[in-house]
Amino acid sequence: MAFKFDATQVLPDQGSSPIPKGIYRASITKTEIKTTKSGLGLILALEFTILGGEFHNRRIYSNINVINQNEVCQRIGQGQLSAICHSIGVMTIDDAQLGLLHNRPLNIDVGIEIGGSRGDGTMYPDRNNITGYYKEQAPAQPTLNIPDAARPMGERAQVSPPAQPWQQGQPAVMEEEIKAPAWADVNPVQTKLPIEEVKATALGKTPPWVQA
């Protein structure tokens, strides 16, 4: 029997060891409704596939109690399902519409559950679990380098006009009490000498009114 294999046509096996804790972009790729061991409840079994990054195409599994006799288990499970629905924008589903959950990206918070006993004497290894479901973040809008002159008036930057040369370095004008100059005194001092004093000074004599 001849054998030929092309590795480019088969995804590499990434092993079963858990991936590191963190937030991963993923989508639901498989869904199945199962009954609980008691036969009185329903579990929604989900397979998530990681999208992009180092762990692209790795599968993470989650079982959600959608109907359970234990009220707490049911409340937790339905809360988880509600978080998934809000994250992908699908608000109502039933067991005939599970396909609506498929291939809609969301973010999942992946944790690690420590291995333990299965109850039959065997052990199960560490494995991933999902502790949160979040809406995928929208990509940031690119910033366009548009000249200010080409923008609408309402989007232009508000720029104050530059100070004029005569305004630069000028101190603020302070209100001061306006005083009249000395020469504008309403009772000016007599500055014109009498003619007799002028003549006496010119002749080197003492004016008569100064003599004893």
Closest CA to 44 of 1, 84, 88: 84
CA–CA–CA angle 66, 31, 40 (5° rounding): 35
8 Å CB contact between 108 and 60? yes
**Strands across the sheet containing 106-113:** 59-67, 42-50, 22-35, 106-113, 127-134
Task: Please state, in angstroms and as integers, the Cα–Cα distance from residue 129 to each residue in 81, 161, 204, 205, 212, following that order.
Answer: 15, 61, 126, 127, 127
pLDDT at 179: 58
Question: pLDDT tens digits, the chain, 212 residues: what are they?
Answer: 788 888 888 867 766 789 999 999 999 999 999 999 999 999 999 999 999 999 999 999 999 999 999 999 999 999 999 999 999 999 999 989 999 999 999 999 999 999 888 888 888 899 999 999 999 975 555 555 656 665 666 665 666 666 666 555 555 545 455 555 555 555 544 545 555 555 555 555 555 555 55
8 Å CB contact between 38 and 69? yes
Contacts for 9-12 with beta carbons within 8 Å, 24 or more apart? 11/57
pLDDT at 120: 86
Instruction: Please give the Cα distance from 18 to 172 (Å, whole number).
Output: 72
pLDDT at 16: 74
pLDDT at 1: 77
Residue ranges of domains in the chain, CATH in brackets:
22-134 (2.40.50)
8 Å CB contact between 44 and 33? yes
Whole-structure pTM value: 0.60
